Amino acid sequence: MQLINEINKGVRGLAETLGFIFNPLLLSIKGENSQLLVFYFHGLYQSIVQRDLNQIDPQKNMTVNQFYDFVNYFLNRNYTFIRPEDLLAGLDTRKRYAMITFDDGYYNNMLALPILEKFNIPAVFFVTADNVRENKAFWWDVIYKNRTKQGVSGLQIQNEQEMLKSSKHDYISDYILKNFGEGASIPWSDVDRPLTETEVKILSEHPHAVVGNHTFHHALLPNYTKDEIEVEILSANKYIADLTGITPSSIAFPNGYYNKIVLDVVREAGFRVAFSAVPGKNKLPIESNELLCIKRFIANNNNIKNYGSFFRLGYTPGSLYNRIKEILFPGRMNEFPTGVTSK
Residues that bind Zn ion (CB under 5 A): 103-104, 254
Q: What's the closest the beta carbon of residue 238 comes to Zn ion, in angstroms?
A: 19
Q: How many CB atoms lie within 10 A of CB 23?
A: 21
Residue 208 CB-density burial (10 A; 0-12 exposed, 13-18 middle, 19+ buried): buried
Q: What's the closest the beta carbon of residue 221 comes to Zn ion, in angstroms?
A: 11
**Angle made by CA atoms 50, 38, 18, in degrees to the nearest 5:** 85
Residue number with CB closer to Zn ion (104 or 199): 104
* Dmax (CA) of the chain: 60
Q: What's the closest the beta carbon of residue 55 comes to Zn ion, in angstroms?
A: 17
Q: What's the closest the beta carbon of residue 284 comes to Zn ion, in angstroms?
A: 27
Residue number with CB closer to Zn ion (297 or 315): 297
Residue number with CB closer to Zn ion (254 or 308): 254
Residue number with CB closer to Zn ion (32 or 199): 199
CA dist., res. 58 & res. 43, Å (int): 8
Q: Identity (one letter) of the amino acid at 81?
A: F
Q: What's the closest the beta carbon of residue 173 comes to Zn ion, in angstroms?
A: 16
Q: What's the closest the beta carbon of residue 324 comes to Zn ion, in angstroms?
A: 30
Cβ neighbours of residue 136 under 8 Å, at least 6 residues apart? 130, 185, 186, 187, 194
Closest residue to Zn ion using C-beta atoms: 103
Q: Which DSSP state fits 297?
A: E
Cβ neighbours of residue 125 under 8 Å, at least 6 residues apart? 101, 102, 105, 109, 195, 203, 209, 210, 211, 212
Residue number with CB closer to Zn ion (41 or 79): 41
Residue number with CB closer to Zn ion (104 or 141): 104
**Angle made by CA atoms 184, 188, 192, in degrees to the nearest 5:** 100
